[in-house]
Amino acid sequence: MGIETTDDERGLSEAGVPPVRRIVVDGETPPVRVAHRIGNGASPGLDEPFAVEQDFEAVWVEERMRIESLGVRFGQKEAVKDVSLQVNSGEVLALIGPSGCGKTTLLRSLNKLVDLTPTAIRSGRILLDDEDTAYMDDTLLRKKVGMLFQQPNPFPMTIFDNVAYGLRERGSKRPGKKALEPIVVDALERAGLWDEVSDNLNHPALSLSGGQQQRLCIARSLAVRPEVLLLDEPCSALDPISTAIIEDTIVNLKDEIAIVIVTHNLQQAERIADKVAFMYLGDLVEYGPATQVFNAPMAERTKDYVRGDFG
């Protein structure tokens, strides 16, 4: 057993990206101990590349979900073709690719939300903690695999009721407000919204700004303590400052929760992702560490896309 140090500095300094070093302990099947950068303190400015501290912290990277030759078709149209991927806790996985490439469909397959579309037919397997999700109860799966949508969608209720919603409606017995309060406060704190709303938990959630609404939705998902969090272009409807705050929140969360994010914004993927999957017309073209996909992509298509030649 030896420690292999991969140096990802190749080509990075020209791009102005601070180097990221990985220490991979090999000889061990997952869980694999990987050291990777932390630096959640300051939110990276949007124009400048990573302002990440040069620090190392050991984090367990552990497989949460495994996608095995997943295919999704809507009637005659194949949206996702034979995709195999792995979703690990302690990492952010970004799905990138041009519009209509099937990344959102893939994401919605992970919590079986795609099944709501009557014409959708799924093939292949998706495992959550080695259990086939096809045989899991939808509600159980969705408690473990939370999701955030493109448009902030807080319910038309108070802020408190929004965060407490998932816990209140999960079983036949509704917990009281007293029991819920610490969980609601904790969820709002982790979503980075507590300071802004602590005085008005009883205000309508729809009176919040767009960015606050999206963080409220994060808090709502966190309150049910998911293992995996799916994010479907969570920042596309938000301004740059809200985006930066949400990216910060995401990076802060990844140590506890496996995160999969669909994004059109390559800079965003570069800023927050550890692994990147590039999809094109339903095919998974490339999957690997973010630095590799962005700086030394293997496939021509990926190269064109990340260079901005099409998309």
Partner 1 sequence: MPSLTLEATGIPEEVEAGDPTNRRVELMLGALASAVLLFIAGMIIFTLIKAWPSFANNGLAWFGAGGNVDQQLSDIFNSPADPADYVYELRAWPLIWSTILISGLSVVFATFIAVFSSIFIVHFAPTALQKLIEPVVKYLAAVPSVVYGLIGILVIVPWINNNLITEQMRASVAYVIQLDGSSVMAATMILTVMILPIMIALIVDSLRAVPLNWREGALALGVNKWRAVRTVSVRAIRPAIVAAAVLATARALGEAIMLAMVAGSIGFAPNPFDGILFLFEPSRPLAPSILDGEEGLSVVPFGETMYAFGFILIVSCVFFSFSGWAIRQSLSRYGIGAR
234 binds partner 1 (CB under 8 A): no
What backbone phi and psi angles, to 5 degrees, belong to 58?
-80, 130
- Report helix, strand or coil for 109: helix
206 binds partner 1 (CB under 8 A): yes
142 binds partner 1 (CB under 8 A): yes
- CA dihedral (116, 117, 123, 125) in degrees, to 10, reads -30
263 binds partner 1 (CB under 8 A): no
Q: Which is nearer to partner 1, 52 or 106 (CB)?
A: 106
DSSP 190: H
Q: Which is nearer to partner 1, 6 or 207 (CB)?
A: 207
25 binds partner 1 (CB under 8 A): no
Give the one residue of 116, 119, 130, 310 binding partner 1; rule: CB under 8 A. 116
170 binds partner 1 (CB under 8 A): yes
177-198 core/surface letters (b: 16 or more CB in 10 A; e: else): eeebeebbbbbbebbbbbebbe
Give the one residue of 149, 265, 281, 298 binding partner 1; rule: CB under 8 A. 149
In the chain, which ranges are E strands?
3-7, 21-25, 32-37, 56-74, 77-89, 92-96, 120-128, 131-132, 145-148, 228-232, 258-262, 275-280, 283-289
156 binds partner 1 (CB under 8 A): yes
Q: Which is nearer to partner 1, 197 or 285 (CB)?
A: 197
139 binds partner 1 (CB under 8 A): yes
Q: Which residues bind partner 1 (CB under 8 A)?
A: 111, 113, 116, 118, 138-144, 146-147, 149, 151, 153-158, 165-166, 169-170, 204, 206, 217, 220-221, 224
